[in-house]
Amino acid sequence: MEKVREPFLFKLTWPEVKEYLKENDIILFPTGSTEQHGKHIAEDNDAFTALEISKRVAEKTGVLVAPAMPFGYSPHHMGFAGSITLSFETLVRVYKEVCKSLMKHGFKKIVIMNAHGGNRNAISEVLRELKEETSMTVYALMVFPEPTGFAAKTVKETIETEGGHADELETSIALYLGQRVLLEEAEKGIPPSSLSDFRRRYAGKVSTSRDFHEITVSGSLGDPTLASMEKGRKLVEAVVDEIATFIEELKKQ
């Protein structure tokens, strides 16, 4: 089939969507959050990244991209100004209703393109409930490169430090994708002086619920000062290529 010129579902007319569905039943559903990303990255970064990576994958594979979900499960970031969170139950319900709407029109292969770690449990619940309620399989993946996920080899070759949020990896990708990044304001993730010796002693050994303002002063985990646009280019190109390969294989299933 000839690739769709416009990758975004929300920029098509309904007859154009019907025409697409005659040949293809895959759609990408970007999901992210609106939450603090240290002192240097705009708060929409997860939703922004999910949409940008989805767009690049769509351009390679000819599939459509649904509107990005801008809010996620982020109560652990609410100690920083501007963060917005939905409850777990609300998020599950919204994800399900979006997916069911898409299913009704004939999209049989929905891929949730997630860019926020805090959404993972809600997405897992959605996959299970939709399977039970509709007998349809919905897929989900993390759009950020990870050591055990897509572009794992490139992460190992490119990223110098571990982090987890607004770190070297995320900042590099934000720079390359054209996000608003104030690199001169970037700070390493440093625990607040109020963090108890008890918590420090058992960090990594004992799990507990945590709020970001309790474990990092800046909001970052890791060292974003090592980020660069070139690192971001390598990471984005690798993750887009690998996800696109998955989508092409999914078409055949």
Is position 3 within any domain? Answer: no
All residues at 6 or more sequence positions from 188 whose CB lies less than 8 Å from its CB, including other chains: 218, 220, 222, 223, 224, 225
All residues at 6 or more sequence positions from 93 whose CB lies less than 8 Å from its CB, including other chains: none
For the chain, strand residue ranges (E) read: 26-31, 64-65, 109-114, 139-142
Distance in angstroms (rounded) separating the CA atoms of residues 71 and 67: 12
What pLDDT digit, counting tens, does each position of 222-239 carry?
A: 999 999 999 999 999 999
What is the per-residue pLDDT for 5? 67
Is position 26 within any domain? Answer: yes
Is position 1 within any domain? Answer: no
pLDDT at 2 > cutoff 70: no
What pLDDT digit, counting tens, does each position of 73-131 carry?
A: 999 999 999 999 999 999 999 999 999 999 999 999 999 999 999 999 999 999 999 99
The torsion angles phi and psi of 106, rounded to 5 degrees, stand at: 115, 5
Q: Please answer whether residues 251 and 26 qualify as being in contact, where contact means their C-beta atoms are separated by less than 8 angstroms.
A: yes
Is position 39 within any domain? Answer: yes
Distance in angstroms (rounded) separating the CA atoms of residues 119 and 1: 34
pTM above 0.75? Answer: yes
pLDDT at 1 > cutoff 60: no
Is position 37 within any domain? Answer: yes
Question: What domain range includes position 171?
Answer: 9-251
Distance in angstroms (rounded) separating the CA atoms of residues 54 and 65: 7
Q: Please answer whether residues 67 and 78 qualify as being in contact, where contact means their C-beta atoms are separated by less than 8 angstroms.
A: no
Distance in angstroms (rounded) separating the CA atoms of residues 123 and 11: 26
Rounded average pLDDT over 10-39: 97
CATH code for the domain in which residue 162 is found? 3.40.50.10310
Is position 2 within any domain? Answer: no
Report the domain count for the chain: 1
